[in-house]
Amino acid sequence: MTFNQPEKRNAVSYDMWQAIPQIVSAFASDGEVRVVVMRGAGDKAFVSGADISEFEKKRGSADAIEVYERATAAAHAALKGLEKPLIAMIRGYCVGGGVAVALAADIRVSADDGQFAVPAARLGLGYGYRGIRDLVQLVGPSFAKEIFFTARRFNAEEAKAMGLVNRIVPAAELEAATRALAEMIAGNAPLTVRAAKAAVAEHAKDPDERDLKRIEELVAECFASEDYVEGRRAFMEKRRPQFKGR
């Protein structure tokens, strides 16, 4: 999925927010898709935030703000609800709403020119609990405070040190490295990967909201699958398994 507005450093427009759930749904329902990658068009930015030029029209009244926020909430819910692995391939600017989009990914791979910031404190914007919680869970309370309090820009090395990104690669190697990672994941048992992703998601929830029964069901589905049989046979026969996701 490409955020395609390079002339505005891939700032996300209202129409783009609306398109995200449709795109994610298409990936989710396609049995040939094992891994999804998000990227920004061009070589300047992943996502530089929401398209502020639309705010006067799209967020100029209480009713308009409510409509806009419903669209962004649906987009983030779709990204977080995707059961397949989601990788953010980050080049250049990853700012504001771009960080929130990246946080929805399971793995974040950054080029060495990555730049990260949440400039809410410079704009007077307020962040809700869930957005803050997602960042805290990834980088911890102290770094989350530094990111929000200073509103400054962090380079890729700083982001990796905080745990905001998983790895850094040279910009020229970003696409190849991300593709290799995606292909490695895609070669593994889809039901096992799905169960692991679901378990991590439940762990991130408040304890009284966790659906552990669902995790048990997903694990049982792994053991009852054709892929489990194939995995055992491939191990004994010293060959690569051919998983089907069933």
Domains, the chain, with CATH or none:
2-185 (3.90.226.10), 188-236 (no CATH)
Closest CA to 109 of 44, 41, 46, 18: 46
- Tokens linked to 52: 């502020």
Q: Which residues contact 101 (CB under 8 A, 6 or more apart)?
A: 3, 12, 38, 46, 47, 76, 79, 88
Backbone angle region of 10, left / alpha / beta, with phi > 0 → left and psi within -120 to 50 → alpha: left
* Residues 228, 235: Cα–Cα separation, whole Å: 11
* Residues 208, 211: Cα–Cα separation, whole Å: 9
pTM: 0.92
- Tokens linked to 91: 């080049």
Per-residue pLDDT for the chain (246 aa), expressed as one digit of tens each?
Answer: 999 999 999 999 989 999 999 999 999 999 999 999 999 999 999 999 877 766 666 655 676 678 878 898 999 999 999 999 999 999 999 999 999 999 999 999 999 999 999 998 888 877 888 889 989 999 999 999 999 999 999 999 999 999 999 999 999 999 999 999 999 999 999 999 999 999 999 998 889 999 999 999 999 999 999 999 999 999 999 999 999 999
